[in-house]
Amino acid sequence: MKTGFIGTGAMGRPMILNLLAGSHEVYFYARRPEAAAPLVDAGAVACSSPAEVAQNAKIVFTIVTTGEDVEAVCFGPNGLAEGFAPGSVLVDMSTIPPGTARSLAARLADMGVAMLDAPVSGGEVGARAGTLAIMVGGEAQVLERVRPLFLAMGKTIVHIGKNGAGQVAKACNQAIMVAAIEACAEAFAFAQKSGVDTAKILAALSGGSAGSRVLEVMGARMVKRDFQAGIEARLHHKDFRIVLNEAHALGVPLPVAAQVWQQLNALMAQGLGREDTSCLLKVVEGMGGA
């Protein structure tokens, strides 16, 4: 299938490579030549603008940072809207507010263009392995049209509901996952202060009811004090702003998420936003004078 792709960062690059490995044609736009070169070498076709991407592919994926970024890619100068033909599909895999996804879908529908909001979970490791969990909002028949492409990038594909529902699912994912990272940080800070070997704590907990993917990955990082970013903490900070803003608008109390939000604020204030979110351990240690 002919596909378009915008977003060639830590997540987008391996997703493009997996599409190519699935024998799909990929037309992409990258702002930086150094980001484009390895993808061209792998067989993707570089375009000069998002509009040119849309002119070459009726299904276009985007994975960028914020809702404002998605809007600019779609409706800014030389944006996708200038190249989309009726019957095209935008599949936005970014993490953005549900309301933004609904608004973009409505604007595109007026042009005869369908949209899926399809944020992902699994991080860079899942993107490379093609095992991402994909949470989809939009029309079921549009999902079925795109499903062969999703299968090149992900393992779990769930239709959540109408436009915006995929982003609601991603907000739920982030609320649970980052709260678990904070819990790991507190547990290992507690173990350190108690004078106990944290590697043995990790081994013991991993085999019990506290065992989880977050403990396995983030706990190991905390034990090794390896804070080189898998996913930069600033992105989880951005995601939690979405969670708390949505909760405020809905009048839903999220007391645990609110506390985690404060820890992420402290992390950002300490200049740790480019490190892995496991550096929440440093925030807890600082609070205890460690």
Let me know: does 144 contact 194? Beta carbons within 8 Å. Answer: no
Alpha-carbon Rg for the chain, nearest whole angstrom, is 20
Beta bridge partners of 25: 2
| Sign of the four-CA dihedral 45, 46, 50, 52 | negative
Question: Residue 286: CB partners within 8 Å, gap ≥ 6?
Answer: 266, 270
Q: How many helices (H) and strands (E) are present in the chain, helices listed first?
A: 14, 9
In the three-class reduction of DSSP (H, G, I as helix; E, B as strand; rest coil), residue 9 is classed as: coil
Active-site residues, by number, are: 170
- Residue 271, exposed/middle/buried by CB under 10 A (0-12, 13-18, 19+)? exposed
d(CA 265, CA 245): 15
In the three-class reduction of DSSP (H, G, I as helix; E, B as strand; rest coil), residue 133 is classed as: strand
Select from 23, 29, 99 the least CA-distant residue to 61. 29
